[in-house]
Structure formats: structure tokens, C-alpha cells
């Protein structure tokens, strides 16, 4: 009988050395988060800077627009607002009537004297030309439309005013003015005159006074 040649089993086998467990990879998520935060902050700052730049541009444009509007408004006011002219004219004020007569070199020294039913006017030139004939001067009467004039013919002031229109049209130097409810007219009272009153100097001075009286205006 052949002997049993089997190797005897090792009752105590040599234990195998254990493999070390794989170490987990270090997470890089914190780095990614940091980069994302930095990117977000940079983006926000960029948007903020852009908005501030646009705001400054808008404010500058608005300020320029306001300045242009102000200039246009001022220019429009200058063009549309009528400038009140300064009246440098001198006047003879007739306070009893509430009117004034413009003065000029032609009627220098113009003065008036209230009479019964009318007022007489004279000037330096007329006085000089008349000499001693002081009564030959322009006369003016004042009254309302239905008031009877002083000429004695029964005509009202409105009638006298209308009748004098034809005389003015024909070139006669007569006073014919209407201010408010009052008529200022040549009363048609005859004056005798005298030799000295028939000169051209008297006529010129007389006509100058009448021309000024026809320009009378309210005070």
C-alpha cells in the first residue's frame, strides 16, 4: 500500500496583508464657490458702475436740456413781451380837464387860460407874432355829447364835433378831439383880431398850437 503522499494542510495559513482603503479626494467645492462669489461680486460691481455711469450721463443730459429750455423760454419772453417805450415827451397838463398836450419846439411856452365856456391857448411864438393883439388866440370848449356848445347857435358838442370833420378834411386848422365822454372842439366864437394878427408868423404859430391840441390825451 502506497503511502499517503499528500502534503499535510497548513492548519495555520499566513494571513494576507490588507490593502489600505482609498483616501477620498479632497473636495474643491470651496474653491468653486469662492470663484463664483468673486465672479458674482465683479458682475454686480460692473452693473453698478454701468448704472452709475448711465445715471451721470442722464443727469448731465437733463441739466443741458433744462438749460436749453431756460434759454428758449427767455428768448421767447424777450420776443413776445412788448417792451414799454419810455415816454420822454414833455406835456402841458390841463388838470381842470384831466388831459395833457404834447409839447415841442413849435409850441414852446404853451400855456392856457380858463374862460367862461372855453379855454384860450397861446405860445411864445404866437405872443411874439401877435404883439399887442393878445386876444387873437386858439379857443377850445369842452362838453358832453348832448350839452349845448357856447357858440350861441344851439348846436350840441356832438354836432359841433361832426361839423368840424369837414373843415379838417378841407385843411382847416380846428381843434376836434374826443376823449372818453367829452368833446374838445373849436367853439366857433369869432375873434376880431388886429393888423398884427394877419401875418404869416401868426398863422404858423396858431396852426402849431392847434396841431398840438389835436394830440391831447388823458392824464
Domains of the chain, by residue range, sit at 29-77, 91-218
Q: Which of the four pLDDT bands, split at 50, 70 and 90, describes residue 211?
A: very high
Residue 106 burial (10 A CB sphere; 0-12, 13-18, 19+): middle
Q: Minimal CA–CA distance to 164: which of 148, 175, 154?
A: 175
* pLDDT > 70? residue 22: no
Residue 9 has pLDDT above 60, yes or no: no
Residue entry with cell 438749460: 67
Q: Please report which confidence band the pLDDT of residue 35 belongs to, taking 50, 70 and 90 as the band edges.
A: confident
Regarding pTM above 0.85, the answer is no
Contact at 8 Å (CB) between 130 and 202?
Answer: yes
Mean pLDDT for 139-148 is 96
In 3D space, the residue among 133, 111, 132, 114 whose CA is nearest the CA of residue 122 turns out to be 111
Q: Which residues pair with 91 in a beta bridge?
A: 102
Phi, psi dihedrals of residue 93, rounded to the nearest 5°: -90, 125
In the three-class reduction of DSSP (H, G, I as helix; E, B as strand; rest coil), residue 101 is classed as strand
pLDDT at position 178 is 97
Measured between alpha carbons, how far is 109 from 209 in angstroms, rounded to an integer?
11
3-class secondary-structure state, position 95: coil
Q: What is the mean pLDDT of the chain?
A: 83
| C-alpha dihedral sign at 141, 145, 150, 152 | positive
| Euclidean distance between CA atoms 117 and 140, whole angstroms | 9
State mean pLDDT over 162-183.
Answer: 91
pLDDT at position 56, please? 82
List the grid coordinates of 166.
Answer: 369837414
Amino acid at each position: 500500500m502506497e503511502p499517503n503522499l499528500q502534503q499535510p494542510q497548513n492548519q495555520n495559513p499566513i494571513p494576507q496583508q490588507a490593502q489600505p482603503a482609498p483616501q477620498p479626494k479632497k473636495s474643491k467645492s470651496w474653491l468653486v464657490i469662492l470663484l463664483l462669489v468673486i465672479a458674482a461680486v465683479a458682475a454686480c460691481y460692473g452693473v453698478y458702475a454701468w448704472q452709475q455711469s448711465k445715471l451721470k450721463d442722464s443727469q448731465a443730459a437733463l441739466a443741458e436740456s433744462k438749460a436749453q429750455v431756460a434759454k428758449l423760454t427767455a428768448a421767447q419772453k424777450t420776443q413776445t413781451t412788448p417792451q414799454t417805450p419810455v415816454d420822454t415827451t414833455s406835456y402841458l397838463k390841463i388838470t381842470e380837464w384831466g388831459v395833457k398836450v404834447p409839447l415841442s419846439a413849435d409850441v414852446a411856452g404853451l400855456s392856457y387860460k380858463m374862460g367862461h365856456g372855453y379855454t384860450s391857448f397861446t405860445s411864445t411864438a404866437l405872443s411874439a407874432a401877435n404883439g399887442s393883439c393878445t386876444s387873437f388866440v386858439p379857443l377850445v370848449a369842452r362838453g358832453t355829447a348832448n350839452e349845448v356848445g357856447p357858440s350861441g347857435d344851439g348846436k350840441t358838442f356832438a354836432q359841433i364835433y361832426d361839423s368840424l370833420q369837414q373843415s379838417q378834411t378841407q385843411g382847416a386848422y380846428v381843434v376836434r378831439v374826443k376823449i372818453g365822454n367829452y368833446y374838445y372842439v373849436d367853439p366857433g366864437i369869432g375873434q376880431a383880431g388886429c393888423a398884427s394878427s394877419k401875418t404869416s408868423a401868426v398863422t404858423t404859430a396858431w396852426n402849431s398850437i392847434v396841431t398840438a391840441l389835436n394830440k391831447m390825451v388823458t392824464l
